[in-house]
Amino acid sequence: MRAEPLITHSTTTKWLITATVMLVAVMEVLDITIVNVSLRDMMGTFGATVSQITWVVTAYVVASAIIMPMTGFLVDNIGRKKLLMINIVGFGITSVLCGISTNLTEMIIFRALQGVFGAALIPLSQYILRDTFSREELGKAMAVWSMGILVGPILGPTLGGYITENLSWHWVFFINIPVCILAFVLATNLITESEIKPKPIDWLALIFLAVGIGCLQTFIEEGSRNDWLHSNYILTLLVTSVFCIIAFIIRCADNPHSLVNLSLFKDRQFTVCTLILMFYCMALFGVLVLQPLMIEVLMDYPPNQAGLVMAPRGIAALLCMPFTPLLVKWFNAKRVIIMGLLVTAFGTYCMSGWNLDVNMGTMAWIGVIQGIGMGLTFSPLSTIVFATLHPKDIASATGIFSFGRSLGLSIGVAVLSTVLVEQTQINWNRLGGHINNFNPNLHHWLHAQHLQITDPTVPMQLGQLLSAHANIIAYLNSYWLTTLGFLAIIPLIFLVKVSRMEKMEMGAH
């Protein structure tokens, strides 16, 4: 049963605490996506190839994924306030080190360290909120918190593009410094310390966890670039990951002092909600990564305009969030989440009907639809996921829940990137088969362009046309596949036990 907050805060203090933890959560989420648009400039600075520079992103994700499930263990041994402040300071220092890096090796090392300090920021912020607000107030608090989690990755590319274009890629990291200073001051004065319950460190389990999750994340991140299981390197990563994760589960199964509380998965509510989040993020963030590429590469939009096209999605999610607790009271959390999935699926389905002539207004409005769906899904899901857990398990549960989000994000981007590449090749071959002297459409096109088949520029123009159409069809097929992915999540909702939010008392057991 969820207990009421141990310390009663004034309303002002509660919302200042909300602002504090939302600030650090947004900073962490934003840092994953804000760097992406600066990779091209970093390639020039470091003299790196495409495959090398992507490790700037991969190193952060892998390091973060290793630490995230250990949040509960770290809270027990260090205390939530001390852990939060260590992470804020560490994140700020490593941000400076990333900004002053002089070569790719330094950048990758410092990005990995930044991931270590950033990993616990989101689960910690969620844990602190649940321990600050009463049952009746928690829904509103989680709605506000979710706004930052959703808006961060959407606005990241826009902000990163602006900073890179007007300053330099170094400032993508330096911008974290004032945020860290403000968050540190607020945390020092507002956050209360939790009870410290020291546990011994199982070093063998830690090795299994680090190697297993590290290899899994690297397998996901690097698989599409290395032809998946056709590469011995990728195959080795997969085998090592499976072995270490199984060994970790066996090691921790009956250990009361384990690094990760695996017994939480016996709770159906928690397990199902974590799976829903993981699958939702797989579909959602795959689309969020593909769309800017389509806009910039195929439609030749500059980065700042591409960011403007993406922004309405985040704004719509932001505006939708405050109304979500009211909808939950009128209906129930399950129905609101189903509504969110259907709305998100509808928006993605509309994307599957685009063509190369689609305008900015249409893309923006479809983004608004998806943003509403995101708002209806994340907030109630983040509230009910811990409803059936004991208060002492919340810290561990938030780390695992956040890891589900991170894992879903990585898998979704990897899977849709692979689908995009394969579909492009398939459509290239299929469409290319129609380019022959017996196809009357070819002659109609030549006549419209005032060209002859013997003109030396014809092969180049046909190649460009073929490439553009093969790519756009691949993008549209990816969006259609994602639409089916959103709909496939809906049956999982019926495994969640939740009545009207008034009866379940917003997060009570």
Q: Using one digit for the tens of pLDDT, what is the confidence trace for 108-155? A: 999 999 999 998 888 888 888 888 877 777 777 777 777 767 666 666
- Confidence class for position 344, pLDDT limits 50, 70, 90: very high
- How far apart are alpha carbons 39 and 32 in whole angstroms? 12
- Confidence class for position 501, pLDDT limits 50, 70, 90: very low
- Confidence class for position 9, pLDDT limits 50, 70, 90: low
Instruction: Evaluate if residue 4 carries a pLDDT over 50.
Output: no
Q: Of 157, 174, 200, at which residue does a domain stop?
A: 200
Joined tokens for residue 38: 């600066």
Please indicate whether residue 321 or residue 3 has the higher confidence score (pLDDT): 321
- How far apart are alpha carbons 352 and 502 in whole angstroms? 39
Residue 431 pLDDT: 76
Instruction: Answer yes or no: do 251 and 105 share one domain.
Output: no
Highest mean pLDDT among 256-260, 284-288, 477-481: 477-481
Instruction: Answer yes or no: do 109 and 91 share one domain.
Output: yes
Instruction: Evaluate if residue 1 carries a pLDDT over 70.
Output: no
Name residue, tokens 């719509």: 316
Lowest mean pLDDT among 2-6, 64-68, 323-327: 2-6
Contact present, 151 and 318 (Cβ < 8 Å): yes
- How far apart are alpha carbons 154 and 159 in whole angstroms? 10
Instruction: Answer yes or no: do 336 and 445 share one domain.
Output: yes
- Confidence class for position 443, pLDDT limits 50, 70, 90: low
Residue 477 pLDDT: 92
Q: Of 241, 258, 275, at which residue does a domain stop?
A: 258
Instruction: Evaluate if residue 346 carries a pLDDT over 90.
Output: yes
pTM across the whole model: 0.81
* Rg from Cα positions in the chain: 24
- Confidence class for position 451, pLDDT limits 50, 70, 90: low
Instruction: Answer yes or no: do 189 and 215 share one domain.
Output: no
Enclosing H/E stretch for 398: helix 394-432
Instruction: Evaluate if residue 236 carries a pLDDT over 60.
Output: yes
Instruction: Answer yes or no: do 249 and 379 share one domain.
Output: no
Instruction: Answer yes or no: do 450 and 316 share one domain.
Output: yes
Tell me the residue range of the domain where 232 lies.
Answer: 202-258
Total residues found in the chain within this entry = 509
Instruction: Answer yes or no: do 463 and 330 share one domain.
Output: yes
Name residue, tokens 């001051």: 185
Instruction: Answer yes or no: do 305 and 433 share one domain.
Output: yes
Instruction: Answer yes or no: do 484 and 348 share one domain.
Output: yes
pLDDT per residue as tens digits for the range 264-274: 898 999 999 99
Contact present, 321 and 147 (Cβ < 8 Å): yes
Q: Of 182, 200, 218, at which residue does a domain stop?
A: 200
Domain count, the chain: 3
Residue 447 pLDDT: 66
Name residue, tokens 């952060």: 60
For residues 2-28, give the mean pLDDT: 73
**CATH number of the domain residue 419 falls in:** 1.20.1250.20
Name residue, tokens 């990005």: 111
Enclosing H/E stretch for 204: helix 203-223
Instruction: Answer yes or no: do 160 and 231 share one domain.
Output: no
Instruction: Answer yes or no: do 160 and 272 share one domain.
Output: no
Instruction: Answer yes or no: do 140 and 242 share one domain.
Output: no
